Amino acid sequence: MKKIAAITMVRNDDFFLQKWVEYYGRELGGKEHLYIFFDGLDQEIPAFCEGTNAIKLEKIGTDVVSNDKGRVAVMSAKAAELFSNGYDLVIGTDADEYLVADPKLGLSLQAFLSGQNISNCVSALGLDVGHKVGEETALQSDKPFLAQRSYAQLGTRYTKCSVISRPLNWGSGFHRVKGQNFHIAKDLYLFHFGYADMDRINARFADKSRLEQGWERHLRKRSRTSRLVTELKARKFEPWTCFARICQTLIRPPYALNKPAMFGLKIIVRIPERFQNIV
């Protein structure tokens, strides 16, 4: 079994971070393999981080762009350090992102990745989970997220190069690895929950510090996913995730050939029941 670390950076995001710690701690064989960086010395390290490697840093950047670039530079440097300390693979995600091996395989994330031949990096197929307003209630942290949310957009933005096998430099938000192509692993998914609760999105609009850093446009994008899953017909998971994996592998945007594209299609799928208790 390969030794795998997971790293993330957060600021004022305990809701998702607690699930991140629980999930990756279980899937990777212990919380000691988790490395969490708190963006700002004013942050408090929550009690649920006990057993992880949690560190407070000086605040990185004053706006969205500088913050993203600064964060990923720290993450890439930390990943290189972890490789020198004996790790075989490093997973980099935001705290609201969870890499999931299809439950039909009966494998933990660690077991799944240990069986993959990863020469540089590997991506999961991105599923941007939304809030179907009128059908689904507010997201609760004490229950599995996928027992509360059943719809997602097949989004290229979340088909990320999240797993690396040697020191490399991620692009902002882990969306690509600089100088490397990407490969989408079969039966591996990245569930993104940042847009999965309209109550939380609306609360963030009230966070003046985020608006001052230029987050308003980003927050407005977040409501778009829930609008799409509410308004569009949900399609079958198996054929459309297969289509998306092929399409994103073959189609690339001309401005970034190491990122996936999908013709701008807006495809909503219903998440199968087998995923309900995994995250």
pLDDT digits (tens, 9 = 90+) for 249-262: 999 888 888 889 99
Q: Of 273, 274, 262, give the one whose Cα is nearest residue 125.
A: 262
pLDDT of residue 200: 82
Domain range for 266? 4-275
Three-state DSSP state, 65: helix
* Residue 210 to residue 231: CA distance in whole angstroms: 28
The pLDDT assigned to 23 comes to 98
- What is the torsion angle, in degrees rounded to the nearest 10, for the CA atoms of residue 72, residue 75, residue 77 and residue 81? -170
In the block, residue with structure tokens 């190069």? 161
Q: What is the reported pLDDT for 275? A: 98
pLDDT value for 13: 85
Number of H helices, E strands in the chain: 7, 10
Please tell me the total count of domains within the chain: 1
pTM: 0.92
Write out residues in the chain with pLDDT < 70, as ranges: 61-67, 204-222
Please enumerate in sequence order all residues whose Cβ is within 8 A of that of 176, keeping only pairs 6 or more positions apart, or say none: 160, 161, 170, 182, 256, 258, 259
Interatomic CA distance for residues 155 and 128, integer angstroms: 6
